[in-house]
Amino acid sequence: MKFTTLFFLCALSVSAETVITVIDNQIDLTHSRISGNIFSNQAEVINGIDDDGNGYIDDINGWNFIANSNEVFDYSDYGSFPAEIYEYYNLRAKKSLETISDEELLRYKELAKDKDFMKRKSEYTKYAHGTHVGCIALGITNKDTNKNIKLLPIRYLGDATQGAFLKPEFKVLGDDSSDSEKIAGLKQYFEKYAVWMVGKFDIATSYATRFSKVINISWGQSYASTYEEVESAWKKQFTSPLNEEIAAEITASFMSSILSNGKTIVKRHEDTLFIFSAGNKKMNNDEVPHYPSSIKQPNVISVGSFYLNDKAYFTNYGKKSVSVFAQGMAINSCVPENLYLPINGTSQSAPQVASLAANILESANEFKVAISTIEVRRVILETSDKHESLREISESSGVINEKRAIRAIELMTSLSIPEAIAQSFIDIPTI
């Protein structure tokens, strides 16, 4: 079945809506739980002209920062993934929840050991991740989505093959170059790579903040993944074994650069709330920083994953660098082709916080409560359910509680923020 670009025009003006931007890989705009909540840029029409003068032609429903176009989803992949993909995710959810049978566990292990299948599964992640995240941001975990909350899809993850968003290429120096020149070339490449990475982030967030006050980012660059890239480049350049000291130096410099420059960008958009997933490497982000979730700013919420009475087994954490937790195990949400799958991850936890932030803004509008970005963050963190297991691994020691947060906004019509938060715990106690 062949699809053309679909544009969803909404009747409300931008000023009457709360818009959540999801910067991810791609989002299926036709999914039944998403299609009614897609943002529409009312200042644009499909005519091949940049009507609103923002530098993007016909950007009705977001932008593709890989192909530099308004195509935010590739419908040619529809129907191309085998049924075993969906079987795998459902079995993994059962394994995570400890409800899997012995027979199902054998089948899960069989799939997990199949290298060709796992490669295909990785390709499916690039196909489905954004849709899964976007649906959660719109409130899929609730019975009904708020029709006044809109989703702005930004296609961001992936490799451009040409154009403005093409990643810098590492070029191997010839044998006539000395080792010191080769090392200098390696360092220069990763410096250039860092500039490119942050530059792309800057462009995408500058675009998003024109329309949106809540941005969800469920991806990241870890120290480990950067080190692997350094090691890969080293092997291309040298026949000698990796110099671990130099590799660590390059990796640390790269991470420091993208975090410091990323912080500058986030700070520039102080009226926008950035929601970042903390990562799934079981790492302490205080000790080993993760980009962009280790950016510390008053308008940043870094989100870890919770399950039962503790952090989820896979989640990153950090007393100073993880703000709050949200459920992250077997979260059932949309995937392309109007389907649903349960998936684990801080990628699934972060958009729950984005959804809550949007609902707080909607409630503030309903109750005529003036609230700043920093105050939205405060309400989310301070109304969370406190857990002793999270006390030393997060800023808030808590897991988000949507009902309590919304109740606090309602109470702010007559009480100060501290009083409203305190009263919300009385009205909605932790179970």
**Residue 276 CB partners (closer than 8 Å, separation 6+):** 217, 220, 292, 293, 295, 300, 301, 302, 303, 350
E strand or H helix at 291, and its extent? strand 290-291
Residue-level pLDDT at 163: 85
Residue-level pLDDT at 144: 59
Separation of alpha carbons 291 and 302, rounded Å: 10
Average pLDDT over residues 195-218: 97
Average pLDDT over residues 98-122: 97
Q: How does strand 273-277 pair with strand 300-307?
A: parallel
The model's pLDDT over 219-252, given as tens digits with 9 standing for 90+, comes to 999 999 999 999 999 999 999 999 999 999 999 9
E strand or H helix at 266, and its extent? helix 244-268
CB neighbourhood size of 239 (10 A)? 5
Residue-level pLDDT at 4: 36
Residue-level pLDDT at 11: 30
Residue-level pLDDT at 309: 93
Label residue 92 by pLDDT band (50, 70, 90).
Answer: very high
Residue-level pLDDT at 14: 35
Spatial contact of 128 and 347, defined as CB atoms under 8 Å apart: no
Average pLDDT over residues 268-297: 97
The model's pLDDT over 129-141, given as tens digits with 9 standing for 90+, comes to 999 999 999 997 5
Domain boundaries defined on the chain: 14-351
Q: Choose among 137, 99, 105: nearest CA to 23.
A: 137
Residue 174 pLDDT more than 60?
yes
Label residue 162 by pLDDT band (50, 70, 90).
Answer: confident
Average pLDDT over residues 317-335: 97
Reduced to 3 states (helix: H, G, I; strand: E, B; else coil), residue 350 is: helix
Average pLDDT over residues 362-377: 96
Separation of alpha carbons 244 and 63, rounded Å: 40
Separation of alpha carbons 209 and 37, rounded Å: 18
Provide the mean pLDDT of the chain.
93
> Taken in order 32, 38, 42, 48, is the CA torsion positive or negative?
negative
**Residue 346 CB partners (closer than 8 Å, separation 6+):** 218, 277, 278, 279, 280, 303, 304, 305, 314, 315, 316, 328
Average pLDDT over residues 301-328: 97
Label residue 176 by pLDDT band (50, 70, 90).
Answer: very high
Residue-level pLDDT at 148: 87
Residue 1 pLDDT more than 90?
no
Residue-level pLDDT at 134: 97
The model's pLDDT over 4-37, given as tens digits with 9 standing for 90+, comes to 334 333 332 334 689 999 999 999 999 999 999 9
Q: Which two tokens stand for residue 53?
A: 């003068």
Residue 323 pLDDT more than 80?
yes
Residue 207 pLDDT more than 90?
yes
- The better pLDDT of the pair 10, 56 is held by 56
Residue-level pLDDT at 142: 54
Average pLDDT over residues 90-119: 97
Fold of 14-351: Rossmann fold (3.40.50)
Spatial contact of 189 and 233, defined as CB atoms under 8 Å apart: yes
Residue-level pLDDT at 7: 39
Residue-level pLDDT at 17: 84
